[in-house]
Structure 1
Amino acid sequence: MESSMEIATSDRGLLSQILTRLSGPQDLLSASMVCTTWNDVLTQAAQKLTVRSRAFLPSLLPRFKHVKHLNLSQCIDQLQDEDLQMASESLNSLVILSLGNPDQPQECISNLGFVGFVNNCTMLENVALTCIPNLQDSGIEALTRVCKGLSAINLVNCRNLSDDTLESLKNCDNIIELGLKGRFGFTPSGLIKIGENCPTLLKFSLELEPSVDITLALQSLATHCRNLQELSLQF
């Protein structure tokens, strides 16, 4: 008769219930190296991978290729273009990306590096980008053009983005959620494009600098976004 330990280390259903409760990257890596069974269970069950340091990426990415959600918003160090390239080559079925946070602007990620990432991750549906100072309009244009299933975009303090970013939203046929918060290069006339280019919006949040007049933007939303269910405005 199998011992309780043997059952615990071989029963895939039980293992899945236990191992998927691990959250720390070091714990995940350690568990995946116990044996082939544990590694298989983790890689098949894991849907979200949160990485808090770029140092973990080389060891984690090859073991978690089935991950659908990559959370890089809690990284304590500066990510590099090669980190994004490594991630995009390993996680080509990625659906959700969270990158950057207000306390740790990712200043070493270039626009070209981001474009390379999205060109490899064409299945992205939900993207949140926070404090990526080198991100440019062409990066968002690439995102909206190659990721045909894109349905949610949230941008925070990406200061080099201008009205051309809002124009590129016309590439999104199924966008239902859009969030814009902080400092950008948007103009009142450019904000009109949100309503014109995103008639499918269900949820929209807007929090810009007080000097930016959003009157025309609201008029455009009222005219074009007839299915809008949630609107959040902060001044």
Structure 2
Amino acid sequence: MSTVTETAVQSSQPPILPKSFNANQPTTIRLYPLSNYTFGTKENQPEEDPSVVARLTRLEEHYKHHGMRRTCEGILVCHEHNHPHILMLQIANAFFKLPGDYLRPEDDEVEGFKARLNERLAPVGSQFSGEGVNDEWQIGDTLAQWYRPNFETFMYPFIPAHVTRPKECKKLYFIQLPRSKVLSVPKNMKLLAVPLFELYDNTARYGPQLSAIPHLLSRYNFEFVDEAGNPTSVTPGGGPYQGEAPQTKVLAGDIAVEDGTNGTS
């Protein structure tokens, strides 16, 4: 403490203390470290459609019988070195996507979404036991809605002016991860932990939906805790991390991440 005081006194430019900037603060979300979670693999889950054309054809059939397709995906956040990371799937070393999928026509939105999350990430059988295996998903705020105006690949974060009946609406939900959880990914996919700075303004690699996630999460403040549950940093501020710099990590699935063709579906 004495060293800090002496340095401040000796400075020719003493720091200017800003006025309070804490009015109408956003919600503070507690993030747990990546090391708190257990990751495994399970049987392959092949894609339903062999091509983009087949996928759009199936969408058209769905629309004829059931109207607009409802899709839900989750933004699962943890931290590494006090920097938020998003849990994300990678398919065939190429396409990135968030956990989730389209809802069946008869599904309730939230319950149907939980079922799709379990299909992708819940452990099966007696693969794991103990804390965090059967914890129910905590579905949080809707952070974004993307619309598919036609039977095409393009989606927009608004309904174009000339469109009255969008063919699909995709909601992105914030998923509050508990202190510990067990996750299993299909063997034909990878589960990645991608830092926010890697996503930010990186549409070339991740596409417009995923690269917008840092913007969506800027509405929150974060409290970063260690494995024992003790706060280590908060936003804003908190100081630099110690040790290895944050980077994308493969949590389950194939060994290596390739830097080739990328995109989202």
How does the TM-score come out when normalised to structure 2? 0.23
Structure 1 length normalisation: TM-score? 0.25
User: Rg: which structure is higher?
Assistant: 2
Q: Which has the higher strand share?
A: 2
Higher helix content, 1 or 2? 1
**RCO comparison, higher one (Cα < 8 Å, 6+):** 2
